[in-house]
Amino acid sequence: MKFLAYFVLVCFFTVPLVEGRVRHYKWEVKYEFKSPDCYKKLAITINGRTPGPSIIAQKGDTIIVELKNSLLTENVAIHWHGIRQVGTPWFDGTEGVTQCPILPGNTFVYKFIVDRPGTYLYHAHYGMQREAGLYGSIRVSLPDGESEPFWYDYDRSIILTDWYHNSTYEQAAGLSSKSFVWVGEPQSILIQGKGRFDCSTPGIRAGLCNATNPECTPYALTVIPQKTYRLRIGSLTALSALSFEIEGHNMTVVEADGHYVEPFVVKNLFIYSGETYSVLVTANQDPSRNYWASAKIVSRPSNTTNGLAIFNYYPNHPRRNPPTFPPLRPHWNDTEPRLAQSIAMKSHKGYIHPPPQTSDRVIVMLNTQNRINGNVRWSVNNISYNLPHTPYLIALKHNLTHAFDPSPPPDGYNFANYDIYSVPKNVNATTRTGIYRLKFNTTVDIILQNANKMDPNNSETHPWHLHGHDFWVVGYGKGKFDKTKDPKNYNLVNPIMKNTVAVHPYGWTALRFLANNPGVWAFHCHIEFHFFMGMGVVFEEGIEKLGSLPTSIMGCGDTKGFHRP
């Protein structure tokens, strides 16, 4: 019976049921000068573009990406965000966890199956290259002849990002120095790679900013009156939580991270880094004019101008500005509507994947800001994460257990005595490379607990992303998680499944997932700077069930002699 149950679970969650086609891409990654917000700086491009080319496929298709690294002085790796990599954990694209980085001048081939329809992303997973422009969208549709539980006329993808003028090298140097220089707020918000920086800002060197550059012409989404559009909206911000709004139009949320949502209507969509949503919008307003689409920073007191695009009613000119002022709401520190949207997200009635009613293991993760030898770091249960030189997947499969710390991180913290509302009395923490070893095919609960930073009255929003899995979001709460009382209120009836979820200021979020995908998987805050500063962990499960690893992922750390092209 145990084998039968395991077989059913694997089939239900992992095995593609449709034999698809092969989609082959050849990409070259390199630096180019770009002006996405009118300010010229180096950006990482794919085939000369940022955002990079979209991957458009059907469920069951095989994706092959030949990636040439032409960055000259930098390594690279690309993560396929939301693709579970069932049977191909070595192509997850997480440097230090599942592969060695791709060296300058080398070409690496990623090959994987997209086994579920939905809205996904791809982005760099080496250093902080994602925020330098190395990202794009993945759109997976149902096979021909199959239908979804909603209807629309046209399908569009939009990626929201924040944009800094300092290089990632300057930012990394500031974050890792004992004098600690925070990156600050972004200079711009980009909608589908386009934003608008004020070129009259004092101190801008002549020739660097050109407000008439066509690269920074606002993105225009052209719509036909009375038609309904599916907007697939993804966020790959380095820092910012956003509120996305289309002036005068309601949006119906129908999908989140590849799972159908019981539809609900919003005026503005709160979206955190690493999340994807599909919303339905009908062009049912006055067709004689255009409307603003706006992306505003929330959860931080930012002075960054809202990202703006034009919701262009055909046949109006796409560069014709709306006659109104862009939307200004909501206020940055109004947490109640953000929590309300999180709680409102439920699985669609006809597409509920029932969660296990109990868990085998509970890990409570306290998110804190700390100091280690004078450096500012982010930690989980007082341990700040460092990537090893030998990727975990290779080290574990080849029994190179000396390559990382053998002691696992703790499953909890000092629940009784820790005050989440105050600056810690002792801000010191430690760094480790240890990982969580999960028993294969067991059910694991993760409780993400937020707390105060090292400055008073400040608790940030953290979006956490799990590689290789979807999880059920079974609960949210304010204050400190009570491990006796709060699990009694979990939603075990129709919880939404996601791969990225926010933990709100001074609150907690509860997740449940099945450890049924053999491999080694990162779980981390998707804020680029927080992960760089140690805010993440790694899970291993079922490593013994994997066959031989491809040698193409090797060649670094203790695997320098293992690599073969």
Q: How many beta carbons lie within 10 A of that of residue 479, not counting itself? A: 13
Nearest to 370 by CA among 355, 352, 382: 382
Q: pLDDT digit string (tens) for 491-518?
A: 999 999 999 999 999 999 999 999 999 9
CATH superfamily for 2-61+114-344 is Cupredoxins -  blue copper proteins (2.60.40.420)
pLDDT for res 328: 84
Domain ranges, ordered by start, for the chain: 2-61+114-344, 353-559
Euclidean distance between CA atoms 481 and 484, whole angstroms: 9
Cα atoms in the Cβ-side hemisphere of radius 13 Å centred on 513 = 26
**Burial tier of 466 (Cβ tally within 10 Å: 0-12, 13-18, 19+):** buried
Q: What are the phi and psi torsion angles at 352 (to 5°)? A: -80, 130
**pLDDT, mean over the chain:** 95
Across the range 148-162, mean pLDDT stands at 97
Q: Helical H runs in 493-565?
A: 528-532
Is residue 151 a contact partner of residue 227, using CB atoms and an 8 Å limit? Answer: no
Which residues fall within 8 angstroms of residue 458, CB to CB, at 6 or more apart? 452
**Cα torsion for 272, 278, 279, 281, to the nearest 10°?**
130
Q: pLDDT digit string (tens) for 163-172?
A: 999 999 999 9
Which residues fall within 8 angstroms of residue 267, CB to CB, at 6 or more apart? 245, 250, 251
Establish whether domains 2-61+114-344 and 353-559 are of one fold. Answer: yes
Euclidean distance between CA atoms 75 and 201, whole angstroms: 34
Is residue 448 a contact partner of residue 508, using CB atoms and an 8 Å limit? Answer: yes
pLDDT band with cut points at 50, 70 and 90 for residue 329: confident
Please say if the pLDDT value at position 71 is more than 90.
yes
Q: How many beta carbons lie within 10 A of that of residue 413, not counting itself? A: 17
Across the range 411-422, mean pLDDT stands at 95
Q: How big is the chain, counted in residues?
A: 565
CATH superfamily for 353-559 is Cupredoxins -  blue copper proteins (2.60.40.420)
Sign of the C-alpha dihedral computed for residues 159, 164, 167 and 169 taken in this order: negative
3-state secondary structure of 266: strand
DSSP code, position 544: G
